[in-house]
Amino acid sequence: MAAKKAKTKAKSKAVNPLRRDVEKNVLDNGIRVITERVEGAAGVSLSVWVNAGSRYEELTESGMTYLIQQMAFHGTEKHSAAEIAKAIDAVGGKVETETGRDYAAYFAQVEADKLSAAFDLLAELTLKPKLTSTALSAESKIVLEELRAAEKEADFVLDRMFYRSFWKGHGLCRPPKGRLLTSKGQTKLENFKPKSIQRFHQRSHHPKAISIVAAGDLEHEEFLKLAEERFGALEEPKKRVSTTTPANFKFMALRNRPQFTQIRFRIGVPACSASDPDRHAAGLLNAILGAEAGSRLANLVREEELPVTEAGAELAMFADAGCLSVHARASRKSVQAAVEKVVQELRRLVTTLVPDEELERAKATRKASMMGVVDSLRTRVEDLARTERYFGKLLSLEDEIAAMEAVKATQLRALAANWIAPHYLSLGLLGNLKGVNINPNMLQW
């Protein structure tokens, strides 16, 4: 068995749940194989991750990654849809896929003695989907219905509208399932052809884009052998999908949708990438602002100082870009005051140091969240795949928590001063805007 050695192993100790027994090898074709041994675990969580998703799709390919994953269950080169369904039942029925803006994942949760069969199934779904016109016709109808249903959800519409302007023209601005736009009476999804999807699959599901990750009571060398047998022959295509670093755009986007009686809005600024040294400070800013139950926005809503029915914050970070934003829902009468109050709270992060007690509370919630990656086999493989995608290696959980704990209030204010400024603030507003007066001066100070 040929495999480039690239081991990184941290032996686990029962007394310290943060220390993880992880090993990594790289196959000759470039596929990364990562395992975490969890002694006494009930079964194995197996996954295949592909650097794919909307950021790797051209505008005319929007939604192809998601569609390919769904089409795989309609049949592979070896098995029919009925045979795949039986195979899923045979390994325990826990087989699924997930598509993000920068990844496509294939999962199986199985008992240890079914690992080989589950590996066979995931390898087929990942590498050998049949992608026929029959499968395309059946699955595209389902996806179109999903997209039409999503258009009735105000939060989805606002998110899509906001990021479409924030990372304008880049794949990250588009949701993973694709677009519901028409061209001469037909949606772009309906214009897809089997051959174009097959070519995209070959260009996107290539060795250097693939990581195979598992966690459970398993032996790394045995798992590595399975990976070599099922994925070792995969070759690099002549042409691969590619991506670029997105540019950030300042904007104000207002969309009148009378069917949404309440008005939703999102205010956001550029933030750091997922691998940036400032990522821990960014996470704390997000927690302080509105990501936790005791956050500033949550307290303002409870005390009725912020005239909204709900409010929160979100930190979206990718390999080379990020966005820190606040989202809220308000009535037509109160939306102007709500926007102004949110801008005021954002500005307060720049002008005033976060009190020590508030910072410690934020650190406590962040620590609990970071430790949550070891709560289950599924979260373990998700964390291993994420760190591989953004860092190319496992990050010590102890070191990450220590780095977060070391963040000072002065660092938070300096970071806020760099990000939260009138020339960066962007606003997306959606709902019944009759009589609503929103203007660019509201984002100034």
Query: What was the pLDDT predicted at 15?
Result: 52
pLDDT of 13: 42
pLDDT digits (tens, 9 = 90+) for 270-320: 999 999 999 999 999 999 999 888 899 999 999 999 999 999 999 999 999
Domain boundaries, position 343: 252-443
Q: Is residue 241 part of a domain?
A: no
Q: Same domain, yes or no, for 220 and 282? A: no
Picking from 231, 261, 296, the residue at the C-terminal end of a domain is 231
**Residue where a domain stops, chosen among 171, 202, 231:** 231
Report if residue 129 sits inside a domain: yes
Indicate whether 214 belongs to any domain: yes
Looking at the structure, do residues 224 and 299 belong to the same domain, yes or no? no
Q: Residue 187: its pLDDT value, please?
A: 62
pLDDT at 151: 92
The answer as to whether 154 is a domain residue is yes
pTM: 0.92
The CATH number that applies at residue 211 is 3.30.830.10
432 lies in the same domain as 331: yes
Q: Are 90 and 120 within one domain?
A: yes
In a domain, 296, yes or no: yes
Q: Is residue 313 part of a domain?
A: yes
pLDDT (0 to 100) of residue 1:
46
Domain identity same for 403 and 260: yes
For residues 315 and 186, state if they share a domain.
Answer: no
On whether residue 434 sits in a domain, the answer given is yes
**Domain identity same for 218 and 300:** no
Pair 219, 262 in one domain: no
**pLDDT at residue number 112:** 93
Domain count, the chain: 2
- Please indicate, yes or no, whether residues 196 and 257 belong to a single structural domain of this protein: no
| Residue that finishes a domain, picked among 198, 231, 264 | 231
Residue 163 falls within a domain, yes or no?
A: yes
pLDDT for position 137: 92
d(CA 29, CA 36) in angstroms, rounded, equals 22
Together in a domain, 99 and 181: yes
Report residues of the chain scoring pLDDT below 70.
1-15, 17, 181-187
- If asked whether residues 47 and 111 sit together in one domain, one would say yes
Question: Residue 16: its pLDDT value, please?
Answer: 72
**Do 29 and 168 fall into the same domain?**
yes
